[in-house]
Amino acid sequence: MSGLLKEANQGEDDTQQGRYLTFNLEKEVFGIEINFVTEIVGLQKISNIPEMPDYVKGVINLRGRIIPVVDMRLKFKKNLLVYTDRTCIVVIDMQSFTVGLIVDNVDEVVAIPNESIVPPPSYKTGFQNRYIKGIGKSEECIRLLLDCERLFANEEIQTLNQIKE
């Protein structure tokens, strides 16, 4: 799985502009800007933390680092499925914290030029809308591009940071 990231980082120029790691949740394809992604790991033992929101599955120990883990299905109010051998954790690094996102499976790293991205509808069509930065089209596939800066509210960030301490 880490081969996807190595491949993405071996571009001729060092910019990651317009490159997204794509993953699936149910039938939807999502994308995260590659510059937020630090690694992709297989599902491993998750230590449960009592009294957390249902989407916070707990923490993992990743080479000595304690990382909170969030099930993106539950975060986006989807049905929980049994994890499979394709289920994985996408570790992302944001401004003030690192978090692991449990996804159904990682798809690929794609380049989506800005002219192929349209803003999400401005009206509130659902709970997920605040997380969507844009809708990207590459080849014949539509990808919902997540806004990592808005993926978690300030209170959620504080909660996730407290878990590590």
Residue-wise pLDDT tens digits, 91-105: 999 877 899 999 999
Look at residue 127 in the predicted model and tell me its pLDDT: 47
Q: Which amino acid, one-letter code, is at 7?
A: E
- Strand intervals (E) in 49-151: 56-62, 65-71, 88-93, 98-103, 105-111, 117-118, 132-138, 141-146
Name residues of the chain where pLDDT drops below 70. 1-16, 123-129, 164-165
CATH of domain 2-164: 2.40.50.180
Domain boundaries, the chain: 2-164
Look at residue 126 in the predicted model and tell me its pLDDT: 52
Total residue length of the chain: 165
pTM for the structure as a whole: 0.85
